[in-house]
Amino acid sequence: MPEPVPALVSFSEPAEWEAAGPDPARLVAGQPAARVANRYQDPAGRFFTGDWASTPGTWRVQYSEHEFCHLLEGIVVLTAEDGRAWKFVAGDAWVIPAGFRGTWQTVESARKRYAIYEPA
């Protein structure tokens, strides 16, 4: 008997949002309020996709996962530990490879769509 075909996940459906940090120990500047709506997680718990939003602020990041980002609103700046910086505005898309360390700055309230893969 064939396995059932899984349902697709539509981002046009309403989402359930929840608070998402950042961790106060990583905070560099501001008092950002972030929230996330995880829309899909694979059965192994290694692939996730959804929406994320934050008010302005800066915090330290250290990625163990690979993340694709598509900025829908706002302005963000990612700065690597070595000082290289990337500025993204609404409409931009990029990938953050696992191992990236530096800071994430939400310059102007932002909302992104993400896809995350966490290696084993």
* Structure confidence by residue, pLDDT tens digits, 9-39: 999 999 999 999 899 999 999 999 999 999 9
For position 41, which CATH number holds? 2.60.120.10
**Residue 71 included in any domain:** yes
**Residue 37 included in any domain:** yes
**Residue 106 included in any domain:** yes
- The pTM is what? 0.92
**Residue 85 included in any domain:** yes
**Residue 18 included in any domain:** no
Q: How confident is the model at residue 5 (pLDDT cuts 50, 70, 90)?
A: confident
**Residue 105 included in any domain:** yes
**Residue 51 included in any domain:** yes
Question: How many structural domains is the chain composed of?
Answer: 1
pLDDT, tens only, 72-103: 999 999 999 999 999 999 999 999 999 999 99
**How many helices and strands in the chain, by DSSP H and E?**
0, 9
**Residue 11 included in any domain:** no
